[in-house]
Chains A and B, each alone.
Chain A
Amino acid sequence: MTELRRTPLYDLHIELGAKMVPFAGYEMPVQYPMGVMGEHNHTRIRAGLFDVSHMGQVILRAPPEALESLVPVDVQGLARGRQRYALFTNDAGGILDDLMVANRGDHLFLVVNAACKDSDIAHMQAHLPGVQPITDRALIALQGPEAEVALSRLVPGVTAMRFMDVAVLDWNGVALWISRSGYTGEDGFEISVPDTSAETLCRALLAMDEVAPIGLGARDSLRLEAGLCLYGHDIDTTTSPIEAALAWAIQKRRRVEGGFPGADRIRHELADGTSRLRVGLLPEGRAPMREGTPLFASAEATEPVGTITSGGFGPSLQAPIAMGYLPTALARPGTLIFGEVRGKRLPARVAALPFRPSNFRK
């Protein structure tokens, strides 16, 4: 087994009492003494600080149209200082990874998933010029309704940013690469900071009354309530963007023009629909339905019609929640289906996503 890597914030996590777990090749905090439920609720009410330095940061000095050969997203139409959700697709129309792309004037800045970053970088290097992985910067997220008031004490310029804006702003002579986005369904920021300044920045934020450290446990329950996909679970090479209900990420020009991997299948599915769809699910009882739970059309049916891809308990909903794939005919909100949990068929209703409204600063 290869040795686990550590982020520049490892010592701080230990000092804060984090419980560390292996995740995507890194030792990461799954929770702090506050606990998953408390950390989740703190992020919804105040501001949570996340170490996401395991994710891949890449500068791409290539024309926007070059990146468009790998993603079905309109990169040319992305204005300077703006960020957009994107997907790397393969020739079969499956999803290789999901990512964020920002236009920073003379280059693009990409943030990709930790578990995929090596393959994403190799994929880009095989097809694009100017791929520059960033290996000397940490990435932190500050999320929640009080994120702006907290961060603006250090970086006043963030108050002028809207949802999905990106900017390079100065903090004590350190250039912070900031985006107003995140993975929680809350307003907030992701901040790329040089490794050598990461701990000082985190300590300055954690010293504020609004801010508490949040682990991967609450990151997962927050994103699930927000209806956001986790790569390798809700989306992968076997799911197309249309099956995954991510058609909104494919802008009109790309639908019309094609020119991305898997365009044949994806344009066909945009026109004619798919046989299955990613849906939200609300179990009717209190028992959570976890990833891998088979789904049935009735209590008696012998063959499963789908599977749960993410499931657990939603602390803000005080109820179990899940996402999974169902045949399109069963994907309408309100449809009754059954998940098999420990040999018992338990009822659940298809639900619209997100499970709770997001609080973005539009």
Chain B
Amino acid sequence: MKFTEEHEWLRVDGDLVVVGITEHAAEQLGDVVFVELPELETQVAKGDEVCVIESVKAASDILAPLDGEIVAVNEALSDNPALVNEDPTGAAWFFKMKIDDLSALDAYMSEDEYKAFIG
């Protein structure tokens, strides 16, 4: 698993990359009450705002970590946004991307590096 400075985790699943937010991010957000997922089959560029997460406190964005295409979204989050707090690194994945070059993941942090990053 790889980690971004925006507190996203990235997991390779075959030729796809699965994206979610870290436990640390979920704790900081507080109780999640709404998730807006990206549309399927859209091309996104690294840094694009692709999801919105609203907690009781505020709204925040999830950025596309890589260039690619959104090929799957986790509809379970629309019905049960609280999954983000319950199982952020498992059941609460947000979307899957098809990317051209999986080696682009190498630029992101390892788990140890992420732990050091959040202190």
Distance between Cα atoms of A31 and B58 in the complex (Å): 14
Majority secondary structure, A binding face: mixed
Distance between Cα atoms of A313 and B34 in the complex (Å): 9
Distance between Cα atoms of A280 and B30 in the complex (Å): 25
User: Which B residues from 93 to 117 make CB contacts under 8 A with A?
Assistant: none
Q: Which of B13-21, B39-47, B49-57 contacts A (4 or more CB under 8 A)?
A: B49-57
A40 to chain B, nearest CB (A): 8
Contact A342 B52 (CB under 8 A): yes
Q: Is B91 an interface residue (CB 8 A)?
A: no
Contact B56 A37 (CB under 8 A): yes
- Given A221-B56, A315-B56, also A288-B33 (CB < 8 A): yes
Contact A286 B81 (CB under 8 A): yes
Of A36, A287, A315, the residue contacting B54 (CB under 8 A) is A287
Closest A residue to B61 by CB, please name it: A342
Q: Is A217 an interface residue (CB 8 A)?
A: yes
Q: Is B23 an interface residue (CB 8 A)?
A: no
Of B36, B56, B78, the residue contacting A313 (CB under 8 A) is B56
Contact A217 B34 (CB under 8 A): no
Contact A35 B59 (CB under 8 A): no
A290 cross-chain contacts in B, Cβ below 8 A: 58-59
Of B31, B52, B78, the residue contacting A36 (CB under 8 A) is B31
Q: Is A182 an interface residue (CB 8 A)?
A: no
A30 cross-chain contacts in B, Cβ below 8 A: 57
- Given A313-B54, A342-B52, also A31-B36 (CB < 8 A): no
Per-position binary interface string of chain A over residues 152-172, scored 1 when its CB falls under 8 Å from any chain B CB and 0 otherwise: 000000000000000000000
Per-position binary interface string of chain A over residues 219-256, scored 1 when its CB falls under 8 Å from any chain B CB and 0 otherwise: 00100000000000000000000000000000000000
Q: How many positions in chain A have a CB within 8 Å of any CB in the partner chain? A: 17
A40 cross-chain contacts in B, Cβ below 8 A: 56
Distance between Cα atoms of A47 and B52 in the complex (Å): 33
Q: Is A188 an interface residue (CB 8 A)?
A: no
Closest B residue to A31 by CB, please name it: B30
B81 cross-chain contacts in A, Cβ below 8 A: 286
Distance between Cα atoms of A290 and B33 in the complex (Å): 13
B59 cross-chain contacts in A, Cβ below 8 A: 288, 290
Of B36, B52, B56, the residue contacting A312 (CB under 8 A) is B56
Q: Is A347 an interface residue (CB 8 A)?
A: no
Per-position binary interface string of chain A over residues 27-41, scored 1 when its CB falls under 8 Å from any chain B CB and 0 otherwise: 000110001110010
Per-position binary interface string of chain A over residues 41-74, scored 1 when its CB falls under 8 Å from any chain B CB and 0 otherwise: 0000000000000000000000000000000000
Per-position binary interface string of chain B over residues 55-77, scored 1 when its CB falls under 8 Å from any chain A CB and 0 otherwise: 11111000000000000000000
B78 cross-chain contacts in A, Cβ below 8 A: 286
By a beta-carbon cutoff of 8 Å, the part of chain A in contact with chain B is 30-31, 35-37, 40, 217, 221, 286-288, 290, 312-313, 315, 320, 342
Pull 11 A–B residue pairs with CB atoms less than 8 Å apart, ordered by A: A36-B30, A40-B56, A221-B56, A286-B33, A287-B54, A288-B54, A288-B59, A290-B59, A315-B31, A320-B34, A342-B52
